[in-house]
A and B are shown apart, each in its own frame.
Chain A
Amino acid sequence: MTAELTITRERGECQTFCGLAGIVWLHRKMQDAFFLVVGSRTCAHLMQSAAGVMIFAEPRFATAVLQDRDLAGLADCNEELDRVVSELLARRPDIGTLFLVASCPSEVIKLDLDRAAERLSASRGGAVRIVAYSGSGLDTRFTQGEDTCLTALVPQMPALPSSERSLLIVGTLADVVEDQFTRLFNEMGISTVDFLPPRRVADLPPVGTGTLVIAAQPFVGETLAALRQRGATVIPAPFPFGVEGTTLWLTAAATAWGVTAERVAAVIAAPAARATQALARYRELLAGKRITFLPDSQLEIPLARFLARECGMELVELGVPYLDRRMLDAELALLPPSVRIIEGQDLETQLTRLRQDRPDMTVCGLGLANPLEAEGLTTKWSIELVFSPVQGFNQAADLAELFARPLQRRQRLVV
């Protein structure tokens, strides 16, 4: 079926976040971690614009802002970084893991943060784990920042003894979703279920040849590749959005573990039926509605699959920032072949098409949402899809509701 899909590549201006935005949710997930961006005032400004509405007494991210003297070589960048890190660790002795996050400016001046992380770790005798990764706009887009972060954690994971097995789920999930998945897998008889990222970096799960890895998010391709390097076996599957996606995802993992089809079916029967029933209410609202996704988070393809197959929506255009075939082949096979997929972005051209298509709903970033609303297009801002608990059976209806809400709102408002 994938052969029939037409995928067009576009290049031009893009409207997406850089990978630094990943810090906004990663620092909430990993409670013992601190994220230090090495960059410019722009990076600091991005971070607080994206996260600043939350008032934190003590935020767990900061920026080491490069100054003129750092660029002119008047100050040794490595010495400066050592000083800033010491200052930070003195202020926050509770930090267990410090991420040094590279940005566009630090990459252009070729500041080697990997080496700095090694040096700083060594000089602290292992009291604080220091890890470097890149969240720059040059290398990463939005959710890709999580991929680079997790990839950097893979070498730090302890080894799983060769006699043991584990199921490792990769990609940030809300705690409540993790707990649901753990319960379902336990009921199937899979006792060791680990998550990456973990809630505390101090509790990094082990990995080894007995590890089965399944991605819960479509943007963790490099992390999976790194885990494979450590002997893990990757299970390809669609992503756990909606009843179908969750069923296929759970089944793929359980089957790979060796659970019988009957047992899987028995465990998921009730929650799947419940989810189907809950979803019906929103299907009524969404069926037949035309939807376009502008590129943002890599979630576009799995979400579109869910909306088309389970909610009866009609897909007009599917914009994706980049297409990682390793991650999305199972999803592409489930898409209706008629869909127009655009990889990459040329913003103005895309907006021209959007205005011609005039879909019932447009999924886009916050820079575009209000201006498009003002043009009479109903929008769903896409960042929320990364922040909300939307995976698994119990959240299937919530996910549909996220899309139904803007439509209902438009119906309600009369002024």
Chain B
Amino acid sequence: MELTVWTYEGPPHIGAMRIAASMDAVHCVLHAPVGDSYADLLFTMITRSAERPPVSYTTFQARDLGGDTAELFKTRLQATYDRFQPQVMLIGEACTAELLQDQPGALAQGMGLPIPVVPLELPAFSRKENWGASETFHTLVRHLLRGHSPVNHSPFNGRQPLANLLGPTALGFRCRDDITEVRRLLDSLGVAVNVIAPAGATPADLLRIPNADFNICLYPEVAHSTCVWLERMFRQPWVRTVPIGVGATRDFITEVAQVIGIDPAPALAAAKTRLPWYSRSVDSTYLTGKRVFIFGDATHVTAAARIATEELGFTVVGLGTYSREFAREVRAAAEQYGVEALITDDYLQVEAQVAALQPELVLGTQMERHIAKRLGIPCAVMSAPVHVQDFPARYAPQMGFEGANVIFDTWVHPLMMGLEEHLITMFREDSEFHDHAPPAPPINAGAAAVDINAGASSPAPVAAAPDSSSDTPQWQADAEQELRKIPFFVRGKARRNTEQFARERGLAVITVETLYDAKAHFGR
């Protein structure tokens, strides 16, 4: 057993769901107990999808365990096929179903459905979400392209080269906008996009993958094994550089140009990005040598470390990943910065290291936000897992030249906040900026007498110094107590309304009853 406070990745069947939810005309049937459908809300709430993910669950319960859960699975599979009529079905098990050993994949294949049915092996007690996504994508592509032969591409003389973009998924960090940005880069090189997968692809699109001249592996956590397989089976070269950061984007352009045999110089010359100038402007001088700790998935961590050192002038004091599949690559990267990579999925270990290193900035995931908040360190999010605020409405890529602009703003922003915070600590008596704003005293009489530095120990100077203009009703102690139970963001309004209510009725004293009478009178 492993004590887990927060988990960086979900179980592998979540990865399978991400592939299904990314694609069109693919449906996933999961053998899973009641409750596992919670995963739907990752898609409907966090990414705000307007459609339910194409996933059906057997939702077995205790009473089903005595009976035939295999039969339950077959019934659900048939019903799902009849209803949704997908072109391909994925068959998987959640962790509990894995323990039942109903072999749903084999059962499904024996049912003679008129479409490809792809069974997935998702070992829930040893593997995790990204592995599940990678395995599902790889299995699906392999299943569909089995027996197809490589396409003999003509030389490029005059013909537009074709590339596949592989790896973007639903619930992936900024995938939506990264695709747009990478398309822009490819445009500048005269490369056309053949298939983007899994995001937005149909099974028919996957069959067209071999038509491309080469593959671009945008998210190795999802697409690495597929790219390797395609290279072997279809002789498609693949681009390894992930274009996150100005330097990496330039390298990406150079690598693509090399694959298609053109000169990258014109595309590089045409590139527009503000990060280099912003970073050189004197305002950024104070960023020099800022000690930064980086943690996330392997791809984003490796990219972030390069940006931090080469493009922003930070010092990387710690670097790590939860992507065990890419531990070797991250270790190699860490070596360049003279630190030892932290390879772990244990949140507590990450927390311990951050606490020990005391960096000035943490670049991480949603989880590192928890750590940074606890330790009072500025933090920016640059890798999944992320929450709803990191699926923004605005254009917010990480990749390409616009991605670099986004990254500059995102990473520097918490530091500016940090600086303000320092000023507050230095000048505690400042009348506007202090650590706890006083409960807005009336601007008129006697307000200046309120001593904000008087702690809870001094007997309630605020309550004892009411406005002397006599028409303000007195709060009874228990009414005041009750008022404090109202959430702080509406408390002020409740206080004002109650006082107004009491004044209008000529009440000199506010009781708990008055508070609720007023609440009933005004509504929310």
Contact = CB atoms under 8 A, between A and B. Distances in A.
Contacts of B44: 366-371
A87 B125 contact: no
Contacts of A50: 38
Q: Is the interface of A mostly helix, strand, loop or mixed?
A: helix
Interface stretch (B7-15, B242-250, B411-419): B7-15
A354 B192 CA distance: 45
Q: How many A residues are at the interface, by size bracket?
A: 35 or more
A77 interface: yes
Nearest to A365: B41
Contacts of A107: 62
B290 interface: no
Interface string B455-486: 00000000000000000000000000010011
A318 B385 CA distance: 37
Interface in B128-186: 128
Contacts of A141: 34-35
A46 B45 CA distance: 14
A136 interface: yes
Nearest to B57: A13
B78 interface: no
Given A138-B61, A368-B44, A80 B50 contact: no
B40 A15 contact: yes
B378 to A, nearest CB: 15
A270 interface: yes
Interface residues of B, number: 70
Interface string A97-124: 0000000110111000000000000000
A45 B1 contact: no
B167 to A, nearest CB: 22
A137 B30 CA distance: 15
Contacts of B52: 367-368, 371
Contacts of B62: 107, 136, 138-139
Nearest to A405: B524
B126 interface: yes
B99 A64 contact: no
B193 to A, nearest CB: 28
B100 interface: yes
Contact of B2 (A21, A67, A136): A67
Contact of A13 (B7, B50, B76, B486): B76
B41 A49 contact: yes
A141 B95 CA distance: 18
Given A38-B1, A367-B52, A394-B519, A55 B369 contact: yes
Contacts of A55: 369-370, 373
B374 interface: yes
B211 interface: no
B307 to A, nearest CB: 25
Contact of A137 (B13, B36, B40, B369): B36
B83 interface: yes
Contacts of B373: 55, 57
Nearest to A14: B59
B370 A270 contact: no
Interface in A1-57: 12-21, 38, 40-42, 44-46, 48-50, 52-53, 55-57
Contacts of A270: 513
B485 A67 contact: no
Contacts of A288: none
B7 A53 contact: no
A105 B11 contact: no
Contacts of B100: 108
A88 B485 CA distance: 32
B33 interface: yes
A175 interface: yes
B103 interface: no
Nearest to B40: A367
Interface in A184-230: none
Contact of A64 (B3, B7, B126): B3
A298 to B, nearest CB: 14
Given A44-B7, A64-B1, A398-B524, A374 B40 contact: no
A12 B56 CA distance: 11
A44 B10 CA distance: 8
B370 A56 contact: yes
B451 interface: no
Contact of A62 (B4, B11, B42, B369): B4
A166 interface: no
B179 to A, nearest CB: 22
B34 A18 contact: yes
A274 B38 contact: no
Given A13-B57, A109-B99, A65 B5 contact: no
Given A13-B56, A67-B2, A367-B37, A137 B61 contact: yes
B516 interface: yes
A46 B95 CA distance: 13
Contact of A42 (B36, B65, B512): B36
A53 B50 contact: no
A63 B5 CA distance: 6
A77 B3 contact: no
Nearest to B370: A55
Interface in B495-523: 512-513, 516-517, 519-521, 523
A81 interface: yes
Interface string A59-77: 1001111111011000101
A18 B35 contact: yes
Contacts of A371: 44, 49-52
With a 10 A CB-CB cut-off, give which of A88, A183, A278, A369 has the most chain B CB atoms: A278
Contacts of A108: 65, 96, 99-100
Contacts of A41: 4, 7, 9-11, 95, 124, 128
Contacts of A38: 1
A371 B45 CA distance: 10
Given A57-B370, A108-B99, A137 B33 contact: yes
A46 B38 contact: yes
A55 B375 CA distance: 13
B5 A62 contact: yes
Given A14-B34, A42-B36, A59-B5, A271 B485 contact: no
B204 interface: no
B275 interface: no
A84 B1 contact: yes
Nearest to A138: B62
Given A275-B520, A367-B41, A370-B45, A52 B387 contact: yes
Contacts of A14: 34, 37, 59
A40 B122 CA distance: 14
Contacts of A281: 523
Given A41-B124, A62-B5, A138-B62, A46 B35 contact: yes
A81 B33 contact: no
A397 interface: yes
Nearest to B51: A371
A21 B38 CA distance: 10
A396 B36 CA distance: 33
Contact of A65 (B4, B13, B39, B51): B4
16 contacts: A16-B34, A38-B1, A41-B128, A42-B13, A42-B124, A49-B41, A55-B373, A65-B2, A67-B2, A67-B125, A70-B125, A84-B1, A107-B62, A368-B40, A398-B524, A401-B523
Given A58-B374, A137-B33, 12 more contacts: A14-B37, A15-B37, A49-B38, A55-B373, A57-B373, A62-B3, A63-B4, A179-B482, A183-B512, A278-B519, A370-B44, A374-B51
Interface of A: 12-21, 38, 40-42, 44-46, 48-50, 52-53, 55-59, 62-68, 70-71, 75, 77, 80-81, 83-84, 87-88, 91, 104-105, 107-109, 136-139, 141, 175-176, 179, 183, 270-271, 274-275, 277-278, 281, 348, 365-371, 373-374, 394, 397-398, 401
The 7 closest A-B pairs by CB, nearest first: A18-B35, A137-B35, A367-B40, A374-B50, A278-B520, A137-B34, A104-B96
